[in-house]
Structure 1
Amino acid sequence: MAVTAQMVKALREKTGAGMMDCKKALQETDGDIEQAIEYLREKGISKAAKKADRVAAEGSTHIEVDGNTAVLFELNCETDFVTKNDQFKNLLSELGKHLVQQKPASVEEAMKQNLHGDGQNVEEFINSNIAKIGEKLSLRRFVIAEKSDNDAFGAYIHMGGNIGALSVLEGTTDSDFAKDISMHIAAVNPRYVSRDEVATEEVDKEREVLKTQALNEGKPEKIVEKMVEGRLGKFFEEICLLEQSFVKDPDQKVKKIAEAKGATVKGFVRYQVGEGMEKRADNFAEEVMSQVKNK
């Protein structure tokens, strides 16, 4: 039968699902509202819609490597308890395999891609897991990295997934060494590989700040320039990977460690779960009580 706007509106009010999901459900069930509700429940869309406005700033990072392709991504949930269960871990694994094989250009593209060739797309797969896990889940971001047979991926996950770092090293196939570089990245959080990557505007701004600081300290103007250049070196050490003291051997710079291996750091990405997101303000007791009340 023909699906009308009034039918879509009625189903949306009952389930909280989106208009297009409601329309599809009604089309699949020949306009039967009750069957459409069951359809949405089975797809996990109804529960997912009701949780859509909740904050999901916990979660886990995950790295999946497949030959010369790797992906680092962040999957969010509402509480860190969920990251420990097998259902969530399986979801991480399945999403990782899909992303590394299909290589979508964006989260939006990934969500619409078919998963496993069974007619279910990634968005529907995540929604079905929301129904099972009982929390809002969200694929927040990912990055795809490529290398050659002569290079190495450094894959490191810290604190059970709270921080993930993925690096690409050229000139070496030593994945253990590359992992050590990523461990350093996870711990120290550099912003750039080398000082060459730092924008001239950022360096000039820092130079002016350091000059003003030196003058305010009463330093003679004739030695301020030398002081500023010296302090700029410290600035680069803070933000540039190759300038930093290696965490596993603080007496050596990362640059020297890499050179000794004949390796060049091509690039890296570091994700920390929830960075830049609004965190839940609930305390544990309130969280548990809210779950009890909702059962």
Structure 2
Amino acid sequence: MAIDLNKLKELRERTNSGLLDCRNALEQTNNDIEAAIKYLQEKGIIKAAKKASRIAAEGIAKAFVKDNLAIIFELNCETDFVAKNKLFLDLADKIQNALILANFKNDDELNKIKINNKTIEELCNDLTASIGEKITLRRAEKYVANSNEVVAAYTHADSRIAVIIKAKGNNVEQIRHVAMHIAALNPSYLFECSLPKDLHDKILSKVENDPKLANKPEKIQASIKSGMLRKEFNDLGVLMFQPFVMDEGKTVAKFLEDTNLELLEAKRFEVGEGIEKKTVDFATEVAEQMKQ
């Protein structure tokens, strides 16, 4: 049977599938575009299952604000090339819109959110089959601003780091600056009270028994202790003790105080953090592709 070249072109554009796969699909479905898409989808589900064990550690992290909501999510793929693919970015936009309306408490609920009668997990599997890389929505979180609270979001230019933040107060622009600070410096803890108790106690004991305090008047001791604790907590990556990136003469805590803001929560996502990446040499990778 002769293949309609216009339909072949359309099928490739709509599914982003390979030329031979599209040709075969049209042959199997007598040049019926919709039937060919269904054929590729059914075939692709099998391919997607084979990719389930692959490691998807590239992709994008996005943060955004809609009214009183701040939302952050990470959508993963296997290579940074696919992270720039239009189909991948279109899926990210659909997920972003869906998260505005959805309520979710964990990853299972997250991936069951529906977009046009398909779950996010199903849409990720469809795209996996289409472009040949494992696609997963790894995680997402949402903050809701109540009365006298503000939320802000920051996504870095390369879409690999994103931050959402919530505070008491009403200065959105200034709290967004703190989100930018968090994106840049990646603090390990937000507050002094966030430190593990044993670590916190160890720092306090170290400062309290420092030889520099010997024979110093009480007021001088208090000043020395304050400076030492500030340095210790900054070294440990406690946000409130870090010099603020936009005014290093102030700590983040001082900047918040000066702008009448009280930090409540913040979340930072970086693409691939915590995922153990598998290193495969080129020859092995080609061999694996040929097996499939």
TM-score (norm 1): 0.73
Post-superposition, which runs of at least 4 consecutive aligned residues in structure 1 deviate over 4 A?
207-212, 219-223, 226-230, 285-295
CA contact (8 A) 1:114 1:122 kept: yes
Spell out, residue by residue over 1:183-226, the C-alpha distance to the aligned partner (whole angstroms, 9 max, x if none): 100111123332233343220134467789x7xxxx58958xx6
Q: State the distance in 2 between where 1:162 and 1:96 align.
A: 16
Q: Is it true that 1:196 corresponds to 2:213 in the alignment?
A: no
Q: How does 1:145-294 map to 2 (within 5 A)?
A: 145-148=143-146, 150-174=148-172, 176-207=173-204, 222=214, 230-238=227-235, 239-282=237-280, 289=286, 293=290
**Equivalence for 2:137:** 139
* 5+ residue gaps, structure 2: 1-34, 216-220
Q: State the distance in 2 between where 1:104 and 1:61 align.
A: 18
Q: State the distance in 2 between where 1:72 and 1:63 align.
A: 4
Count of residue correspondences: 249
Deviation at 1:230, TM superposition (A): 4.8
Structure 1 pair 249–173 and aligned structure 2 pair: CA distance change class (3 A) = closer
SS of 1:94's partner is helix
Spell out, residue by residue over 1:50-71, the C-alpha distance to the aligned partner (whole angstroms, 9 max, x if none): 1011111111111233221221
**Equivalence for 2:88:** 88
Q: State the distance in 2 between where 1:242 and 1:129 align.
A: 42
CA contact (8 A) 1:69 1:147 kept: yes
Letter of the aligned partner of 2:48 in structure 1?
Answer: A
SS of 1:148's partner is coil
Identity %: 33
SS of 1:109's partner is helix
Deviation at 1:77, TM superposition (A): 1.0
Q: State the distance in 1 between where 2:54 and 2:262 align.
A: 43
CA contact (8 A) 1:42 1:128 kept: no
Spell out, residue by residue over 1:239-275, the C-alpha distance to the aligned partner (whole angstroms, 9 max, x if none): 2222211111111121222222211111100111111
Deviation at 1:102, TM superposition (A): 0.7
**Equivalence for 2:23:** none
TM-score (norm 2): 0.73
Deviation at 1:280, TM superposition (A): 3.2
Q: Which is worse superposed, 79-88 or 256-265?
A: 256-265
Query: RMSD of the TM alignment (CA)?
Result: 3.1
* 5+ residue gaps, structure 1: 1-34
